[in-house]
Structure 1
Amino acid sequence: MTGSARLDAWLVDLDAADAARLVDHRPGALTEEEARRLASFENQEAARRFLRTRRTVRHLVAEWLGLAPPDVRIAHTPTGKPYLPDHPGRHISWSRSDGLLLLCAAADGPIGVDVELIRPVPSALDVLSFVVPDLPPEAGPESFFPAWTLLEAAVKATGQGLARGAKSVNLTFSTGGGVALRGIAGHAPGTWHARTTLLPAAGLPATAMASFVAPMALDPVGVRRWPVTGRPRAVSPGRLPAGW
C-alpha cells in the first residue's frame, strides 16, 4: 500500500462522569460474550472499566460509521483482534491502560494501537527482555514504554497477538530511549510503518505513551479527546518525564 494512513483516534478518560453519561447503558447494549466477560470479574473497578470500554468503543465506532450503536457488530479473531464483520473494509483497534482508553479506526487497512500510562516499572529491562531477546546496549530503562507499546501495536496490527507474535517484531534502539520498528518477520521490508508519541493524559496524573502501526506511512495522528468536542489535535513526540 502507498500513501499515508487516514486514521481517526479518540483518547477517553473512562473514569470521567461525562464519558459514563454518553454511552449506552441499556442491558441489551452488551453482546453475550461481553456479558460473560463482565460476569467473570471479581474486582468491581476492573468490571466497571471493562463495561465502559466496550460501550464507549461501540458508541464511537457507531458515530464513525454513521450508525446507531445497537447496529454495530464487533467480533474477535481467535487471537483477540477486533474486527467489524459487516464492514470488512473498515478496521479498528483499541487499548486500555487503567482508566485511559485509546481507540483508533482506519478505512485504508489494518491498524494496531497500544497505550500505556507512564509509571515506574521495576527491573524494566528484565521485563522487556522476556519478549525482546538480545537487547542491545543502547536499550535503557527509558526504552521500556516506547518498545512495549510498539510491540503491542505491531502484533495487534498483524493479528498475531503478543504471545505468538512478539518475537517476530524487529525493533531498533538508540541511546536516550529512542525505539523504532524495523520490520516484522514474514512481511516484506517496508510493509509496516509505526509512530510512537507521548500523549498528555488530561484529567489523569500521568503522561501516556502511545504507538500506532499500519501498512501505510503515518503522519502525526490527530487524537480527539472524548467526550470533549472540537477538531482533532495532532500530537507530537515528547520527552519522558524526569524520574519516571
Structure 2
Amino acid sequence: MMDAWLVDLDQVAPTDISAHYPEGLTEEELRRGAEFVHARAAHRFYRARLTVRRLLAERLGLAARDLRIHYDPAGKPYLPDQPDTHVSWSRSDGLLLLGATETGPVGVDVELVRPSTTSLDVLAFVYPGVPDSATPETFFHAWTLLEAAVKATGRGLTDGARDVDLDFGPDGAVTLRGISGHGALPWHGHTALQPTRQDSPWAMTAFVSRELPPVTVLPWPDRARDPARAPAPATATAPAPEPARARAAGLMAS
C-alpha cells in the first residue's frame, strides 16, 4: 500500500523538523540550498529535504538521522538500507508531494495551477503525441502524469517521455495506458486536484506505480485541530474534474 503526503512547506516551522537547518542535511544539500538567490527558496528546499527524511523515518520506525537516502546515476532517490521501500517526491514552490510504497517503483509529481497561454506548446515539445483535439484543460493531467511516469522508471523527461503512452480523452481527461520497455506488469497512473494555501488555490498531483488507485493524500503537518490551516485528506482518482476545476487545470505552472 502506498503512503502519500502533501506538505505545505511554508506551514512547517523549523522546530517541527530540526532545531537547526544544517542538522540532518548532507553537504550536497547544503551546497544546493546555498545556490538559491532568494532566502525563501532556500528555506523551502531545506525544509523539503528535512521533511522527506522525517516522514520516511517515521514510516519505517527509524530516527531521521539514521535514514540514508542515495541517488542513482539518473538522480532517482532510493533507500540503500531499505531496498524494498520505493520512494519519490516532487516540489512546486511551497508544496512537497511524497510517496512511498513496497509494491514496486513509484513516481509522483505536483504542480501549482497557474495561468499560461503556452501550456500545450510546452507539452507538445516534450511529448509529440499530443493530439490536435487536445484542449488547455488537458495540460496539467498530462504533464503531471508524464513527469510521474518518467520518475517511476528513473529515466527523466529527455530519455523517458517517448516510452510513456498517454490517452487523451474528452473533457480534459488524460489516462496512462502504459510505459514501454519496463517489464510486463502493468503501470497505473492517476491525477487529482488538491486545495492549497499557496498563491494558487489548486495543485495537480499525479502518481504512477504498479498499484491500482485510489491513493489517499494526507496533508502534513497535521492541522486537524485548526481546519482553516489545512485541507481535509483528498483521494487521487483518474476521472476528469468537474467543469469549473477542469478549466483551472488547463493553466500552466511556472
1:229 positional shift? 5.9
Indicate conservation of the 8 Å contact 1:12/1:227, yes or no: yes
Asked whether 1:141 is paired with 2:143, we answer: no
Partner of 1:3: none
* C-alpha spacing 1:202/1:44, structure 2 compared with 1 (3 Å): closer
What runs of 5+ residues in structure 1 fail to find an aligned partner?
1-5
Matches of 1:19 and 1:161, distance apart in 2: 32
Q: How does 1:1-244 map to 2 (within 5 A)?
A: 6-16=1-11, 18-26=12-20, 27-188=22-183, 191-202=186-197, 205-217=200-212, 219-228=213-222, 233-237=233-237, 238-239=241-242, 240=245, 242=247, 244=251
Q: Secondary structure at the match of 1:42?
A: coil
Q: Residue type matched to 1:33 in 2?
A: E
Moved more, 101-110 or 34-43: 34-43
Q: TM-score, normalised by structure 1?
A: 0.89
Matches of 1:170 and 1:183, distance apart in 2: 5
Give CA-to-partner distance per residue, 1:121-163, whole Å, 9 cap, x none: 2211111111111421331111110000001100010111112
* C-alpha spacing 1:166/1:24, structure 2 compared with 1 (3 Å): same
1:220 positional shift? 1.5
Q: Secondary structure at the match of 1:22?
A: helix
* C-alpha spacing 1:115/1:65, structure 2 compared with 1 (3 Å): same
Indicate conservation of the 8 Å contact 2:194/2:234, yes or no: no
Matches of 1:154 and 1:236, distance apart in 2: 16
Give CA-to-partner distance per residue, 1:55-101, whole Å, 9 cap, x none: 11111111011111100111111111111011000011111111011
Identity between Structure 1 and Structure 2 (%): 53
Indicate conservation of the 8 Å contact 2:145/2:208, yes or no: yes
Q: Secondary structure at the match of 2:5?
A: strand
Give CA-to-partner distance per residue, 1:172-211, whole Å, 9 cap, x none: 1012111111111213565211111111124654111111
Give runs of ≥4 in structure 1 deviating > 6 Å: none
Matches of 2:78 and 2:72, distance apart in 1: 8
Q: TM-score, normalised by structure 2?
A: 0.86
Matches of 1:144 and 1:194, distance apart in 2: 15
Matches of 1:81 and 1:182, distance apart in 2: 23
Q: Residue type matched to 1:21 in 2?
A: T
* C-alpha spacing 1:65/1:200, structure 2 compared with 1 (3 Å): same
Number of aligned residues:
236
More helix as a share of residues: 2
